[in-house]
Amino acid sequence: MPVDVLDARILRLLLQQPRTSVREYARILGVARGTLQARLDRMERDGVITTAGPRVSPAALGHPVLAFVRIEVTQGHLDGIGTELAVVPEIIEAFSITGGGDLLARVVARDNAHLEDIIQRLIRLPGVVRTRTEIALRERVAERVLPLVEAVERTAERLRAGERPQAEQPEAGERSGDGERSADDPGAASGSGPRSGDDGEHGAGESARDQGADQGAEQGADHAADAATNRDAGAGGGTGAAVPSPSPAPGIPPSQAPCAQSGRHGTAPHGPGAQRAAR
């Protein structure tokens, strides 16, 4: 689109209030004067604003007759005829067209006789084959651009309003938070849980590994407790230092040998606890 919403509003003010100053335009639109001037300069460079002069009425200048003249020319003379039309002051504008004729000229005249003189002048131009004249009776729609500018402004506003919600909408399947999935995922409602048979087998394997880890942790805790008990028993001997196990004297049964931890003679303990202590 050649213009945006602000450009369209500036053009609308120019058409509605052509004699207002740039400072007043900026105040009405609520923008800086420099911003407004920059927009005007850009639209002039782009050809959106083609003229800043006043509109002049040909009828008020003594030329109330308006006619549209279709001109048919020979091949190869279109550009030359266009140059000749620019010399005639009563031709307001001219276009090359399709359909009947090759050129369409907008002509003003003082009266019908004056119009006939203009047409005869056109016929005498080299390359003109024939002309056909249509006289305007009454103006039904005056030349205007303001409705078009307003339509462009409404279109620009709808486009801008429609782009914001679309940019703010998240993509499908994207949600905020951890563990959330799209609605197509069967496990999205609970946030966890198996979604297929493979996931169920995977969960069962993880459970078995967790049980094994718990059992290993319990055994490690038992060994640590037994070791702590033995250390406490050794500390109760008085010095707190570990006493090396003496070799049994000759003739003394092993069961009567002194205990390594307590330093006293007695029967060596038996059972799982003693085996764990020995380890």
Same domain, 40 and 80: no
pLDDT band at 209 (very low <50, low <70, confident <90, very high): low
Same domain, 41 and 65: no
Contact of 5 with 28, CB cutoff 8 Å: no
The CATH number linked to 80 is 3.30.70.920
> Which residue would you say has higher pLDDT here, 271 or 7?
7
Q: What is the mean pLDDT of residues 117-132?
A: 96
Instruction: Please report which helix (H) or strand (E) contains residue 93, including its range.
Output: strand 91-96
User: Which residues span the domain enclosing 98?
Assistant: 59-135
Question: Which of these three, 98, 114, 135, is where a domain ends?
Answer: 135
The percentage of the chain sitting over the pLDDT mark of 70, rounded to a whole number, equals 57
pLDDT, tens digit (0-9, with 9 covering 90-100), for 140-172: 998 889 999 999 999 999 988 886 544 445 444
pLDDT, tens digit (0-9, with 9 covering 90-100), for 28-83: 999 999 999 999 999 999 989 987 677 889 999 999 999 999 999 999 999 999 99
Q: Could you tell me if residue 149 is inside a domain? A: no
The CATH number linked to 37 is 1.10.10
Vertex 166: Cα angle to 161 and 168 (nearest 5): 100
pLDDT band at 272 (very low <50, low <70, confident <90, very high): low
Contact of 72 with 128, CB cutoff 8 Å: yes
Q: Could you tell me if residue 22 is inside a domain? A: yes
Number of domains in the chain: 2
Same domain, 76 and 22: no
DSSP assignment of 151-165 equals HHHHHHHHHHHHHHH
Q: CA-CA distance, 226 to 14, in Å (whole number)? A: 97
Strands 65-73 and 103-109, by their bridges, are antiparallel
Average pLDDT, the chain: 75
> Which residue would you say has higher pLDDT here, 245 or 50?
50
